[in-house]
Amino acid sequence: AEARSAGASIGLVPTMGALHEGHGSLIRAACAENDYVVVSNFVNPTQFGPNEDLDAYPRDLAGDCRLAREIGAQAVFAPAVEEMYPSGTSATWVEVEGRLTSILCARSRPGHFRGVTTVVAKLFNIVGPCRAYFGQKDGQQAQVAARMVRDLFMPVEIRIMPIVREADGLALSSRNAYLNPEERTAALILSTALKGAEELMANGERNRGRIISFIVEEIEKEPLGSLDYAEIYSFPDLEELPETIEGSIFIAVALKFGRARLIDNLVVNL
Ligand code: PAF
């Protein structure tokens, strides 16, 4: 509040902690574009399903604070569950309805996006940011947050930053910590299948079904992974596309490796 009333611009980087260089890139962008940067660090129970990894989710508050400070953030906001949900749950929910929250991750994680938008709305109300930073890695989440802000006229600019990858192509994710060495090698199939699809399109392929089949076949060559989805939609609205695709498109994949569920995506302009 002091920073805001002194006229400072406030940037918020909402995270669930276990920060990696993907988060680092968001914090760096926030520091470059705002006077005062808050990194929130809260593993939000309402966005996890009953059989998901809430209890196992990696936590390292001390390491996260170090990284946030090194990059230049002014504050880390790490509330307890009781602070964010004082009555144990929320009587008020913020929910983006419609196809944006019915496809892709919404199918395998019912209620997930309602939990995300509710906690992000709470964080916006607490921190009062001018800008909030999301990663394109969670591309559907970023569009859901943008839609919430548009529909509710929230005075926050949503900034979406590019996916950060390991040298071999694996998209950075806190959930990569769940992978054993064999699964870590196998998980490369997400980015290589997407890259293969990108090459197909660069060589002129425009048939949606054939591109999806290519990705599915590539992924199924990897026995350690089990495919959740491989889908193609328009970008950024994530609308259905005709069989022949053109314009800006979003290709998204999700796979399970043991207890890790990993997602990756690619935006291509055709
Ligand atoms: O992407 C995440 O880490 C979470 O979904 C978010 C945006 C911090 C909300 O809990």
Torsion 233-234-238-241 (CA) sign: negative
Q: What is the DSSP letter of 101?
A: G
Tell me how far CA of residue 268 lies from CA of 38, 143, 196, 200, 232, in angstroms: 32, 16, 13, 12, 11
Distance 250 CA to ligand 1 centre (A): 20
Quick check: CB of 116 below 6 Å from ligand 1?
A: yes
Task: Quickly list H helices, the chain.
Answer: 2-5, 21-33, 61-71, 81-84, 105-108, 112-127, 139-151, 181-186, 188-202, 208-220
Q: What is the pLDDT of residues 129-176, one digit of tens each?
A: 999 999 999 999 999 999 999 999 999 999 999 999 999 999 999 999
Catalytic one of 20, 23, 112, 261:
23
What CA–CA distance (Å, rounded) separates 251 from 150?
24
Distance 213 CA to ligand 1 centre (A): 31
Q: What is the pLDDT of residues 182-236, one digit of tens each?
A: 999 999 999 999 999 999 999 999 999 999 999 999 999 999 999 999 999 999 9
At residue 116, what is the residue type? Answer: V
Q: What is the pLDDT of residues 79-138, one digit of tens each?
A: 999 999 999 989 999 999 999 999 999 999 999 999 999 999 999 999 999 999 999 999
At residue 162, what is the residue type? Answer: P
Nearest CA to ligand 1 atom 1: 15
- 112 in active site: no
Q: What is the DSSP letter of 165?
A: B
Tell me how far CA of residue 144 lies from CA of 10, 63, 150, in angstroms: 21, 29, 10
